[in-house]
Amino acid sequence: MPSPHTLTCPSCAAGNRLPADKLSAGPKCGTCGARLAPAKPFALDPAGLKKAVKTDTLPLLVDFWAPWCGPCRMMAPEFEKAAQALAGSARLAKVNTQDFPEASGAYAIRGIPALILFSGGREVARLAGARPAADITAFARQHAPA
């Protein structure tokens, strides 16, 4: 029997525990009703990101970006495609470094877009620069624990 997953709600930051086989069934937060494993990237603030990194058992791939960044805007649709391809095996989130500059310092972001893959409470890999969906998906699958 697969181990249950713990996921942090992207809306209210509540911790939710659910069976692994329910990931594809569109689970919702027990506190606010938001989707826990959407097939598209969701926004996180630094507090939500810190909690998700610490408690989530599903790999979390985070895009650090800013609205003024041309490569970030060009990569956004590719990141959405990657989220659909990775649905059920990883969650994809975005952190706006213009709104939350402290996140850049906390995670040593030197340039954007920057992708960081978190799993098991720690950073497992990072990738800099705009990438197509196939590269993002391959990166996540290569570095996420099985």
Considering only CA atoms, which of 32, 125, 137 is closest in space to residue 86? 137
Query: What does CATH list as the number for 38-143?
Result: 3.40.30.10
| pTM greater than the 0.85 cutoff | yes
Contact 62, 97 (CB under 8 A): no
H or E stretch including 76? Answer: helix 70-85
pLDDT band at 85 (very low <50, low <70, confident <90, very high): very high
Residue 137: strand pairing partners: none
Which active-site residues does the annotation give?
Answer: 69, 72
Domain ranges of the chain: 38-143
Considering only CA atoms, which of 122, 116, 110, 119 is closest in space to residue 139? 116
pLDDT of residue 2: 62
Six token digits for residue 37: 């494993």
